[in-house]
């Protein structure tokens, strides 16, 4: 068992929060945000900015995030940088782990202290631990199951917490999409943020995109609108008839949490039927993985996953390298892809698959997050590539 050394000048008797891993490893710290206990898979995120977008990304449902950047919370929180459309407090991350104490917000956009904001959403966090040691542990042992606990009186039943972490089944085979998807269809017309204006409304009457919501992020929808599309969002359980009744020019498969093979039980048959009808399709993250499943590929669980806003990816179709945001613990097995499927993007960190397209159908997808929230804007071109794909298809049919 490894005992992490707290970064504050006190022993564990002064700790008000802890992280207990399934193997019995314990990290002590100072609690903030919500109180109580939460179990999940512990991962690390290497982004230096965008912690509010990360903490509201529905793809993190079932996970506890360790931030490798030490100063989290220094710019506070606001009401604009929220990525989840489903505002239920339970629809997302299970907990957050920070190195340094959260300072008073220092940013003109801040409306709330991070701890108060976390508490309002029921998210448990702890600060003051050696996040380098925890990151190294994850690197060496893969993403473990763990329980994050915040008890202001500093009293913890470590054996019970260890058992809770050990008994949690983990993300393999777990369908978490029902926790984050929309419950009914809705329209989206909000476009990208502009300095001094905020988020703008944009009316379009051209291409109609139906976005299947597996846990969609707001900025993905904004980028679809920015590219000149009218957007309708449907729940993850929408049937083929539900989707086709909306007369889509293209279908978007969103990001989301959990095991793609589990969600694919009900999602993949619908995607296959859309492919058979030659409907243009663009997928991101979980949508990428499920498109690969629908095309005959398989997915695998990753040891550490990819989480951060500084991941280099090579576009094999252009030879260009882009810096991207990533958030996934499963990946498409490129060796499983049928001959008709072309690998279009690869990670320059580990060579794993990050993009595919069909040679005979108007469908493509990427593993990373081109909407850049958080992260660089290098990959915005993919939304325009989707629009161009639809336009080319419509022109041929004219």
The pair of structure tokens assigned to 277 is 């009808």
Residues 6+ apart with CB under 8 A from 128: 6, 7, 8, 28, 29, 30, 98, 99, 100, 101
Tokens linked to 121: 């959403």
285 noted as active-site residue: yes
DSSP code for 281: E
DSSP one-letter string for 213-252: ESS-BHHHHHHHHHTTEEEEEEETT--HHHHHTT--SEEE
Question: Which of the residues 37, 41, 192, 371 is marked catalytic?
Answer: 371
Answer yes or no: is 286 a known binding residue.
yes
Beta-strand ranges (E) seen in 254-366 are 281-284, 299-315, 321-332, 341-347, 353-358, 363-366
170 is in an annotated binding site: no
Considering the candidates 28, 307, 328, 369, report the single residue annotated as catalytic. Answer: 369
Q: Is 330 annotated as a binding residue?
A: yes
Let me know if 369 is a catalytic residue: yes
Q: Is 295 annotated as a binding residue?
A: no
Record the tokens describing residue 196, joined without a space: 């001094």
Among the options 43, 53, 83, 285, which is catalytic?
A: 285
Q: How many CB atoms lie within 10 A of CB 148?
A: 30
122 is in an annotated binding site: no
Q: Which of 257, 255, 318 is CA-nearest to residue 284?
A: 255
The answer to whether 308 is a known ligand-binding residue is no
> Is 52 labeled as ligand-binding?
no
- Is residue 290 within 8 A of residue 271, CB to CB? The reply is yes
Q: In what helix (H) or strand (E) does residue 207 lie, and over which residues does it extend?
A: strand 207-213
Catalytic, 371? Answer yes
Q: Has 198 been labeled as part of a binding site? A: no
Q: Catalytic site residues?
A: 285, 369, 371
Binding-site residues for L-glutamine, in ranges, read 59, 256, 258, 286, 289, 327, 329-330
């Amino acid at each position: 068992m490894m005992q992490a050394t707290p970064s504050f000048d006190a022993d564990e008797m002064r700790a008000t929060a802890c992280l207990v891993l399934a193997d019995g490893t314990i990290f002590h710290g100072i609690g903030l945000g919500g109180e109580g206990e939460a179990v999940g898979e512990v991962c690390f995120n290497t982004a230096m900015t965008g912690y509010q977008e990360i903490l509201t990304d529905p793809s993190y449902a079932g996970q506890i995030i360790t931030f490798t950047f030490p100063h989290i919370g220094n710019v506070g929180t606001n009401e604009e940088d929220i990525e989840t459309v489903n505002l239920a407090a339970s629809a997302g991350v299970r907990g957050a782990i920070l190195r340094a104490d959260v300072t008073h917000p220092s940013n003109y956009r801040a409306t709330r202290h991070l701890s108060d904001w976390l508490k309002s959403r029921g998210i448990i966090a702890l600060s003051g631990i050696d996040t380098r040691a925890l990151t190294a542990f994850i690197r060496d042992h893969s993403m473990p199951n763990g329980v994050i606990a915040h008890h202001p009186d500093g009293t913890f039943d470590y054996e019970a917490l260890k058992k809770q972490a050990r008994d949690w089944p983990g993300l393999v085979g777990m369908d978490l999409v029902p926790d984050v998807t929309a419950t009914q269809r809705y329209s989206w017309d909000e476009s990208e943020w502009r300095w001094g204006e905020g988020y703008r409304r944009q009316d379009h009457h051209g291409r109609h995109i139906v976005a299947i919501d597996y846990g969609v992020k707001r900025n993905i929808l904004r980028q679809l609108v920015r590219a000149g599309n009218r957007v309708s969002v449907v729940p993850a359980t929408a049937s083929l008839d539900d989707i086709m009744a909306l007369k889509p020019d293209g279908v978007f498969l969103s990001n989301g949490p959990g095991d793609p093979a589990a969600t694919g039980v009900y999602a993949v048959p619908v995607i296959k039927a859309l492919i058979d009808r030659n409907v243009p399709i663009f997928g991101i993250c979980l949508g990428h993985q499920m498109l690969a499943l629908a095309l005959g590929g398989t997915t695998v669980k990753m040891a550490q996953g990819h989480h951060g806003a500084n991941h280099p990816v090579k576009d094999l179709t252009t030879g260009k390298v882009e810096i991207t945001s990533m958030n996934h613990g499963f990946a498409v097995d490129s060796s499983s892809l049928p001959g008709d499927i072309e690998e279009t993007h690869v990670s320059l960190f580990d060579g794993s698959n990050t993009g595919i397209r069909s040679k005979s159908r108007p469908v493509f997808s990427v593993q990373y997050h081109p909407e850049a929230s958080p992260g660089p804007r290098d990959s915005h071109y993919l939304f325009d590539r989707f629009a161009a794909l639809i336009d080319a298809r419509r022109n041929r049919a004219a």
